[in-house]
Amino acid sequence: MEAHAQMLETDTVYRSNRLAIESFTAARVSAKAAAPPKIVKIPVVVHVVYASAAENISDAQVKSQIDALNRDYRKKNADLGKIPAPFKSRAADVRIEFALAVRAPNGSPTTGITRTQTTKQQFDSHKNDIKFASTGGHDAWSRDKYLNLWTAKTIVDPQVGALLGYAQFPGGAAATDGVVITSDGFGTQGTAQAPFNLGRTATHEIGHWFNLLHIWGDDAGACTGSDNVPDTPNQADHNFNKPVFPHVTCGNGPNGDMFMNYMDYVDDDTMFMFTVGQAARARAALNGPRASLLTSDGLTKVPSTTPVVLKLPASAAARQAALARQADHGATRVFDGVGWVTVKSAAKATGTAKTATTRRRRRR
């Protein structure tokens, strides 16, 4: 929420956008759908930014993060059984999936992973410097077509210190839209370190990207703030580490805080669920400020070109000679189908001598 607070101070358009988005969300969630929404798949691009080889995380680690997101957002996580009995019926399948993009903004094929070597040892969440090539990071791809994820070793907030990650709510600037995660908490292998090695920092931060609020309402223990989701209990503040159920605050007994919710701050192995209300709120974002993703071509494969099969001169020398014979008189470069290349003259290429001719003046 620190990034949100800073943007409110510096961007008046963001402030008005947030007010409009919240009004839209409230109305959308209130108009309950008759049937479950269709499953939506979000194109993702992961920008890996590294200062050393050890920080250049593997494709496998990136893919492990995508797999973790799909388990968590589809209610397919293996630890669902750990949800306390009073909260089990509130656990929801958000019906949102994620996949690495296969089409880049320019229409070319992509793995959905970019890699940028940098000289920076850390990135500042207030400056958003990881999100710009000019400041040592990588520029965002169009937020209308992709969810941008950035990952690097060290992310800091100058007021708070080191961060696991941060996200931009819907309604902010396009150039900075997306989610940033430390590589120490990204995915489930490689550089990911316990207790943040189940990929759930991204699950939490992408929740913010889908307009979900912290479950405690960010009121510093006052018990007056809400996350605008009726089926999450009111709770005093964030929870850390591994609380024991029930953990009662704000008079929310006997069941207490829903600390195992992805939008709290507990360890990865202690959070297991989104609620029905949170799912509805995230889906409202997909029908409002994130609606352009529904028509993205980021997951549409680029058609492959069929190789031509032709009878060609057998040797490279013969092919070179054939090209040379097509050259204009005096030219030393010919077009080989892709670009202009230097070739030997046709005479040298074929081994024949070419005698110079002179034009004789006709006598009168």
CA-CA distance, 343 to 341, in Å (whole number)?
A: 6
CB atoms within 10 A of CB 354: 10
Q: Are strands 165-167 and 333-335 parallel, antiparallel or unpaired?
A: unpaired
In contact, 266 and 259? CB cutoff 8 Å: yes
Tokens of 247: 């953990």
Question: In terms of residues, how long is the chain?
Answer: 364
CA-CA distance, 294 to 37, in Å (whole number)?
A: 13
CA-CA distance, 320 to 251, in Å (whole number)?
A: 85
Q: Judge whether 205 counts as a catalytic residue.
A: yes
Q: Which residues are CB-neighbours of 100 under 8 A, at least 6 positions away?
A: 43, 44, 45, 46, 62, 63, 66, 111, 112, 113
What is the number of alpha carbons within 13 Å of residue 278 lying toward its C-beta? 33
Residue 246 φ then ψ, to 5°: -85, 145
The one catalytic residue in 9, 22, 97, 205 is 205
Q: Whole-angstrom distance between the N-terminal and C-terminal Cα of the chain?
A: 98
What is the DSSP secondary-structure string of 209-228? HTTPPPTT-SSTT-S----S
Catalytic residue positions, numbered: 205
